[in-house]
């Protein structure tokens, strides 16, 4: 049986519970303790797959095809181990399961209630990953902020688990904010006191308080927080603002968060975490030899969380190449044939982002054309790949109305078509082509050079595909389909050989990029952009 750590949040959202959870997990993992992280989200959506990115940022897809919260991306990037459907649970999924059981008569005529039926289902799922001996520690991040009506059943379940399991098997880490009032030149602990009190009123007692702060916490403040919040003085942890999220594990190590956990759990571990690879990455990240500019063409660019995994992949690939990647956000809606030269001038590479629906589509096509004609390194992901196919269809094959049936169901040349298995689907949630699929790569292509392999596996999230009725026409016109799904023949990668770097992929390589294993496509794209920058210089 594993040990369980629950991470709750107080005072405000967006304090970075996911990063704190991932950092603690990293430290434990680096001491030889096998650790996983899961997230419990209080909203009623069964999963975030149906949420607009403006609501909740990127939808992160796991190997097994679960559409999950973007924090799972952080967990994977930090730990370099895959998560799964079981690592992300929402209130909607809990209720759906309980209601289905009720309809099946499983409660034998009993009144079905929040306590115990909903909390039993939550508990079952909170403890699940710790049951098969795979993990020594399971960290559960509770979404939302303590005091929200919605997260009450989760917090109540934590109370029950704290009450049921031996004391040395459960810990609660409460993340809070210590605001600094400039006028008074003072750090304020009152909001933290209130949030801990609120947590205590529900019967949950925190073992550790992690304090987000812009100013260092002195011993007096730490003692005050410890006293008012009823935790050991050593268990008040400072979480100062960091220049990069990847530094947070080191900050937490300095504050001895991992030692506190190991002591409470009475766990045998390596005397110090082995962070050799992590530190090597950080050193490179912090000492770039030059800066390159990459244009990110998307329609959600006001909201950086919408492209979280792509932005993190740039960071990983930048460090590998010892360059700082400056991402220039370009709104596809504002991009036209008339202003494209002006808007994309000075960039060393273009990434056309994934997306759905019509908005900003023509701008993306204009951007692809610019990259193709000006021999600018180009990287299209999912919708970005589809736009590269449409652009080539229109401007090289001369199919002026070539389109995706997603945007133009009546296009005479639907070069991007709906996948056969998608045509019968009417429900929205969890019904796209999701998760990991194999891809066979043709030897001698750019894709082959990038991956150094002929068989790869990448994650997907889409309904539309390259229309194979056009494949010969595209081949004859010079576009290479260098990766296909071996079972279905679905085109996964397109590229142009007469271009320094032009590649589009139907899948999402950004979902598998981690600190210790950056995605090869990003690494090579950044290398190509670096080369472009040196040519320009």
Beta partners for residue 378, in sequence order:
350, 502
Per-residue interface string for the shown chain with ligand GLN, residues 183-212, x marking contact by CB under 6 A: ------------------------------
Q: How far is CA 263 from the centre of its chain?
A: 31
Tell me whether residue 313 or residue 321 sits nearer to ligand GLN (CB atom). Answer: 313
Compare residues 143 and 354 and give the one whose CB is closer to ligand GLN: 354
Degrees, nearest 5: CA angle 120-34-453: 115
Binding test (CB under 6 A) with ligand GLN, winner from 392, 464, 502, 522: 464
Q: Which of residues 373-392 bind ligand GLN (CB under 6 A)?
A: 382-383
Sequence length of the chain is: 537
Listed ranges 15-23, 117-125, 308-316, 457-465: which one lies at the site for ligand GLN (CB under 6 A): 457-465
Show the beta-strand stretches assigned E in 15-154: 35-41, 60-61, 67-68, 88-90, 137-142
Stretch of 12-20, 157-165, 309-317, 348-356 lying at the interface with ligand GLN (CB under 6 A): 348-356
461, 499, 512, 530: which one binds ligand GLN (CB under 6 A): 461
Select 464 or 501, whichever has its Cβ closest to ligand GLN: 464
Which of 26, 394, 462, 530 touches ligand GLN (CB under 6 A)? 462
Instruction: Please report the sign of the dihedral spanned by the C-alpha atoms of residue 449, residue 451, residue 457, residue 459.
Output: negative
Min dist. Cβ of residue 476 to ligand GLN (A): 25
Q: Which residues contact 248 (CB under 8 A, 6 or more apart)?
A: 16, 19, 20, 22, 23, 239, 242
| Distance in Å, CB of 259 to ligand GLN, minimum | 42
Quick check: 492 binds ligand GLN (CB under 6 A)?
no
Query: Does 355 engage in binding with ligand GLN (CB under 6 A)?
Result: yes
Burial profile 373-394: b = 16 or more Cβ within 10 angstroms, e = fewer: eeebbbbbbbbbbbbbbbbbbb
Q: In sequence order, what E strands does 339-463 have?
A: 349-352, 378-381, 403-404, 414-418, 433-441, 455-462
How far is it, in rounded angstroms, from Cα 282 to Cα 516?
11
Which residue number, 121 or 406, has a Cβ lying nearer to ligand GLN?
A: 406
CA distances from 144 to 40, 221, 498 (A): 9, 26, 50
| For ligand GLN, the closer CB: 54 or 163 | 54
- Yes or no: say if 291 and 285 are a contact pair by the CB < 8 Å rule: no
Q: Which stretch binds ligand GLN (CB under 6 A): 17-25, 177-185, 202-210, 350-358?
A: 350-358
Minimum distance of ligand GLN from residue 41's CB (angstroms):
21
Site for ligand GLN contains 406 (CB under 6 A): yes
Binding window for ligand GLN (CB under 6 A); candidates: 181-189, 225-233, 445-453, 459-467: 459-467
CA separation for the pair 148, 155 (Å, rounded) = 10
Smallest gap from Cβ 354 to ligand GLN, in A, equals 3
Among 356, 395, 488, 500, binds ligand GLN (CB under 6 A): 356
**Residues 151 and 13: beta-carbon distance below 8 Å:** no
Q: Is 109 exposed, middle or buried (0-12, 13-18, 19+ CB in 10 A)?
A: exposed
β-sheet bridge partners, residue 137 = 3, 35
Segment 280-339, which members bind ligand GLN (CB under 6 A)? none
- State in angstroms the smallest separation of the CB of 351 from ligand GLN: 12
H/E stretch holding 239: strand 236-240
| Residue whose CB is less far from ligand GLN, 10 or 414 | 414
Residues 6+ apart with CB under 8 A from 187: 178, 179, 180, 181, 213, 215, 217, 221
Q: Collect all residues with Cβ–Cβ distance below 8 Å to 515 and sequence separation of at least 6.
A: 77, 78, 80, 246, 277, 278, 281, 316
Q: Please, what is the minimum distance in Å from the beta carbon of residue 418 to ligand GLN? A: 8
In sequence order, which residues have a C-beta less than 8 Å from that of residue 10 and are 6 or more positions away? 145, 146, 147, 174, 175, 176, 177, 191, 192, 195, 196, 198, 199
Please say which residue, 17 or 462, places its beta carbon nearer to ligand GLN: 462
Residues belonging to the active site: 382, 508, 510
From 18-26, 114-122, 151-159, 461-469, span contacting ligand GLN (CB under 6 A): 461-469
Q: How far is the CB of 61 from ligand GLN (least distance, A)?
A: 9
Q: Which is nearer to ligand GLN, 9 or 57 (CB)?
A: 57
Q: Which of 354, 360, 380, 518 is in the footprint of ligand GLN by CB under 6 A?
A: 354
Piece in contact with ligand GLN (CB under 6 A), picked from 258-266, 301-309, 349-357, 476-484: 349-357
For residue 293, the SS3 value is strand
Q: CA-to-CA distance for 138 and 25, rounded, in angstroms? A: 9
Question: What is the Cβ-side half-sphere exposure of residue 39, based on CA atoms within 13 angstroms?
Answer: 31
- CA gyration radius, the chain: 25
Size of interface with ligand GLN, in residues (CB under 6 A): 10
Q: Is 403 in the site for ligand GLN (CB under 6 A)?
A: no
Q: Any contact of residue 364 with ligand GLN (CB under 6 A)? A: no
Instruction: Please choose, out of 310-318, 353-361, 370-378, 522-530, the segment that lies near ligand GLN by the rule CB under 6 A.
Output: 353-361
Q: How far is the CB of 356 from ligand GLN (least distance, A)?
A: 4
Q: Is 371 helix (H, G, I), strand (E, B) or coil?
A: helix
Least Å distance, CB 289 to ligand GLN, is 33
- Cβ 62 vs Cβ 47: under 8 Å: no
Closest CB to ligand GLN among residues 18, 298: 298
463 counts as binding ligand GLN under rule CB under 6 A:
yes
Q: Got the DSSP string for 436-462?
A: EEEEEE-TTSHHHHHHSSSEEEEEEEE
Residue with Cβ nearer ligand GLN (348 or 508): 508
Site residues (vs ligand GLN, CB under 6 A): 354-356, 382-383, 406, 461-464
């Amino acid at each position: 049986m594993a040990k369980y750590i629950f991470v709750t949040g107080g005072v405000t959202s967006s304090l970075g519970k996911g990063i704190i959870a991932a950092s603690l997990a990293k430290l434990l993992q680096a001491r030889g303790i096998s650790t996983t992280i899961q997230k419990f989200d209080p909203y009623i959506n069964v999963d975030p797959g149906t949420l607009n990115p403006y609501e909740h940022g990127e939808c992160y897809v796991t190997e097994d095809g679960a559409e999950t919260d973007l924090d799972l991306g952080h967990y994977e990037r930090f730990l370099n181990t895959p998560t799964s459907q079981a690592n992300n649970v929402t209130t909607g999924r809990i209720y759906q399961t309980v209601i289905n059981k009720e309809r099946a008569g499983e409660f034998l005529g009993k009144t079905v209630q929040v306590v115990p039926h909903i909390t039993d289902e939550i508990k079952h799922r909170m403890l699940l990953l710790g049951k098969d001996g795979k993990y020594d520690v399971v960290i559960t991040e509770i979404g939302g902020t303590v005091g929200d009506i919605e997260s009450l059943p989760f917090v109540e379940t934590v109370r029950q688990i704290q009450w049921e399991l031996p004391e040395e098997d459960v810990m609660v880490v409460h993340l809070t904010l210590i605001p600094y009032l400039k006028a008074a030149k003072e750090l304020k602990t009152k909001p933290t006191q209130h949030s801990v009190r609120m947590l205590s009123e529900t019967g949950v007692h925190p073992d550790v308080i992690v304090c987000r702060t812009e100013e260092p916490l002195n011993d007096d403040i730490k003692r005050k927080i410890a006293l008012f919040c009823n935790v050991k003085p050593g268990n008040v942890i400072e979480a100062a603002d960091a220049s990069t999220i990847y530094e947070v594990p080191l900050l937490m190590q300095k504050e001895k968060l991992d030692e506190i956990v190991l002591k409470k759990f009475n766990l045998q571990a390596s005397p110090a975490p082995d962070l050799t690879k992590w530190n090597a990455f950080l050193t490179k990240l912090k000492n770039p030899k030059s800066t390159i500019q990459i244009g990110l063409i998307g329609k959600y660019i006001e909201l950086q969380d919408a492209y979280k995994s792509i932005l993190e992949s740039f960071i990983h690939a930048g460090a590998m190449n010892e360059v700082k990647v400056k991402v220039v956000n370009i709104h596809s809606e504002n991009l036209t044939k008339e202003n494209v030269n002006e808007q994309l001038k000075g960039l060393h590479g273009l990434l056309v982002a994934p997306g759905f629906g019509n908005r900003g589509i023509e701008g993306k096509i204009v951007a692809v054309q610019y990259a193709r004609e000006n021999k600018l390194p180009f990287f299209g992901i999912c919708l970005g790949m589809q736009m590269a196919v449409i652009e080539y269809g229109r401007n090289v094959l001369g199919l002026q109305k070539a389109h995706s049936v997603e945007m133009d169901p009546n296009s005479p040349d639907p070069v991007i078509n709906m996948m056969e298995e998608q045509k019968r689907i009417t429900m929205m949630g969890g019904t796209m082509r999701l998760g990991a699929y194999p891809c066979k790569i043709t030897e001698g292509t750019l894709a082959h050079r990038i991956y150094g392999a002929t068989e790869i596996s990448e994650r997907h999230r889409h309904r539309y595909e390259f229309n194979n009725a056009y494949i010969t026409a595209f081949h004859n016109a010079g576009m290479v389909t260098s990766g296909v799904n071996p079972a279905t023949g679905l085109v996964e990668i397109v590229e142009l050989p007469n271009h320094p770097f032009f590649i589009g992929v139907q899948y999402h390589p950004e979902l598998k990029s981690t600190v210790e294993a950056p995605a090869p496509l990003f690494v090579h794209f950044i290398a190509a952009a670096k080369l472009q920058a040196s040519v320009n210089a």
